[in-house]
Structure 1
Amino acid sequence: MTDAPLDPRLHAYRADLADARLRGRVEAQRFTEGSPATLCVGCADLKPMPSAQAGNDSQLLFGERLRVFDRTDGWAWVQNESDGYVGWVRESTLGPLRAAPDHRVAALRTPLLPEPDVKAPPLDLLSFASVLRVTRYSGSYAEIEGGGWIFAAHLAPSDKADSDYIATARRFLGLPYLWGGRSSLGLDCSALVQLALGAAGLVLPRDSDQQETCEASGRQLPPDAQRQRGDLLYWPGHVALALDAERVLHATGGPMLVVEEPFAAIDARVQVERGRGLRCIRRP
């Protein structure tokens, strides 16, 4: 066994059950390979326990591939293969594993329609960064594997990266802050960073403390370094994107929105709330 415990947010293990890939690293009564699945609804809450009353740790997006380790009372214990996050999701939101996605949703959100008709009643709403496979086109619409049609201009090929993640993040301005949120209907500070950089082809972990210590977040700089556009700014429990040396963009629980504000204002506020100011700068 390793001396330091594995992060349970990123490794599926409990006293009674664990991911078979962790055999020899953790103790558990039983190990399982798990089974593959895909999220088949627009968005689903990921919780620390199988209860509707439990708070949200994160969210899963349409098309994300999952590994299911346990099912009980209508809930499934899963790991998101996109960012490794582990938690409980309603079993009814899961579908069979599908072919590898070749497109992602590039609009903030888009309706999934039963037919290629703008007047058709939507089946669901798919959020930015949802992934899917296009099977054919009809006029301005794309049919996706599993059924349904999406306005094709709202999609981008999976291998096409957005060149400017700050411009991508700015598209979320005014959207509500949501603890554990990861969709364009509401998201938290680290999800905003994860989604914006993900569209640029940079894969970051889910939570701010994970991002802060991750090499994928870029070169680490001291907190007193000159800030520049695109820097990731980390405080205890919070992250923001630098717009320039003086202003930041972030999802914050203050106004409960994605906003732009002066760096000095947020740094002073966090010092009062958490006892210290900016802790780290990362430059992707």
Structure 2
Amino acid sequence: MPTATPNAKTAPTSSARRPDPRTHAWRDDLADAALEGVVDAPRFAVPVRHRLTAPQAPIRKAPDADAVAVSELLSGEAFDVLDVSGGVAWGYSVHDHYVGYVDAALLADAGETPTHRIAAPTALIFARPDIKSTVLGALPMGALIGAAEHDEKFAAAAGGYVHRRHIAAIDDHAADPAAVAELFLGTPYKWGGRTRGGIDCSGLVQIALGACGIDCPRDSDMQAALGREVEDRRYRRGDLVFFPGHVGFMHDETRLLHANAFFMSTVIEPLDDVVGRLLPQYDEPVTAVRRL
């Protein structure tokens, strides 16, 4: 785990522009060295790379244990640490640059680069290369591991054995984001979640696109810059449909696949039903449609 504040240097005050604090690490007392000359801060720190050792961990908006979880870090994902205080690390998730606080005890030095990713919604870790052996734990889709071939069914990974049907090489990607998202049907809605145990709308989009090798930011307003605009509103499977503070995949020409707080679940339902629920609040519930 990180045990000390990374090297920091004092910098003179400069005229500050305020970038998005969700993806640019700066506080009143400290900022990422990459932001020197962009924001005002008394100190700038060079980030130190770590990786998560737990199956998943919340990325919180504040250091308190009960602070809102704004995202989730998955096992093996890299987290660049800028500061450690009171057992809590402040920094950002490397893959999407999302800023927040993570339990420092769950982080370790970056070590070797992972070779594989979890490709199933959940992958069990067995004590032996045998499906009847003790289950040591589980990892969520998108978790990163170092795996070594054992036999035609199992790979040695994560302190045990993972079935090879549940993993894929880092550069081996799925083809259909909507098909990946379908694997999460019935998953409980969880603000900030990115796993089969609980997921939010933009987390579902990020995980599904990531499984297909498509870089994707964390929040729905950021995701609205992906792909190209579909101006004629002739929907196709896989189109991203955006609403105020919400996003989902078109499952086909008329139905939306999305994680939502109305059903508190990931569901497929008619797009017209979603629009109808929002019409009392918004004149134009659909704010954008993007095609990748």
TM range (shorter): over 0.9
- Is 1:267 paired with 2:275? yes
Match of 1:190 in 2: 202
- Cα deviations by residue, 1:95-117 (Å, 9 ceiling, x for unpaired): 12122222110111012234434
Counterpart of 1:265 in structure 2: which amino acid?
D
How far apart in 2 are the matches of 1:249 and 1:4?
A: 38
- Is 1:12 paired with 2:25? yes
Counterpart of 1:131 in structure 2: which amino acid?
L
Distance 1:75 1:114, change over 3 A: farther
How far apart in 2 are the matches of 1:277 and 1:169?
A: 22
CA contact (8 A) 1:252 1:258 kept: yes
Distance 1:52 1:24, change over 3 A: same
Provide the secondary structure at the position in 2 that maps to 1:153.
helix
How far apart in 1 are the matches of 2:16 and 2:49?
A: 30
Match of 1:126 in 2: 139
Q: Please report how far the alpha carbon of residue 92 of structure 1 lies from its aligned counterpart in structure 2 after TM superposition.
A: 1.3
Distance 1:168 1:77, change over 3 A: same
Match of 2:230 in 1: 221
Match of 1:100 in 2: 113
How far apart in 2 are the matches of 1:90 and 1:121?
A: 28
Q: How high is the TM-score relative to the length of structure 2?
A: 0.90
Provide the secondary structure at the position in 1 that maps to 2:280.
helix
CA contact (8 A) 1:56 1:180 kept: yes
CA contact (8 A) 1:41 1:124 kept: no
Q: Please report how far the alpha carbon of residue 267 of structure 1 lies from its aligned counterpart in structure 2 after TM superposition.
A: 1.0
Match of 1:72 in 2: 85
Q: Please report how far the alpha carbon of residue 132 of structure 1 lies from its aligned counterpart in structure 2 after TM superposition.
A: 1.2
CA contact (8 A) 1:197 1:204 kept: yes
Counterpart of 1:221 in structure 2: which amino acid?
V
Q: How high is the TM-score relative to the length of structure 1?
A: 0.93
Match of 2:259 in 1: 251
How far apart in 1 are the matches of 2:177 and 2:252?
A: 14
Q: What's the RMSD between the two structures over aligned residues? A: 1.7
Match of 1:154 in 2: 166
Q: Please report how far the alpha carbon of residue 2 of structure 1 lies from its aligned counterpart in structure 2 after TM superposition.
A: 7.5
Q: Please report how far the alpha carbon of residue 202 of structure 1 lies from its aligned counterpart in structure 2 after TM superposition.
A: 0.9
Distance 1:27 1:2, change over 3 A: closer
Percent identical residues: 38
Q: Please report how far the alpha carbon of residue 76 of structure 1 lies from its aligned counterpart in structure 2 after TM superposition.
A: 0.7
How far apart in 2 are the matches of 1:275 and 1:196?
A: 30
Q: Please report how far the alpha carbon of residue 274 of structure 1 lies from its aligned counterpart in structure 2 after TM superposition.
A: 4.8
Q: How many correspondences in the alignment?
A: 279
Unaligned runs of 5+ in 1: none
Unaligned runs of 5+ in 2: 1-13
Q: Please report how far the alpha carbon of residue 120 of structure 1 lies from its aligned counterpart in structure 2 after TM superposition.
A: 4.1
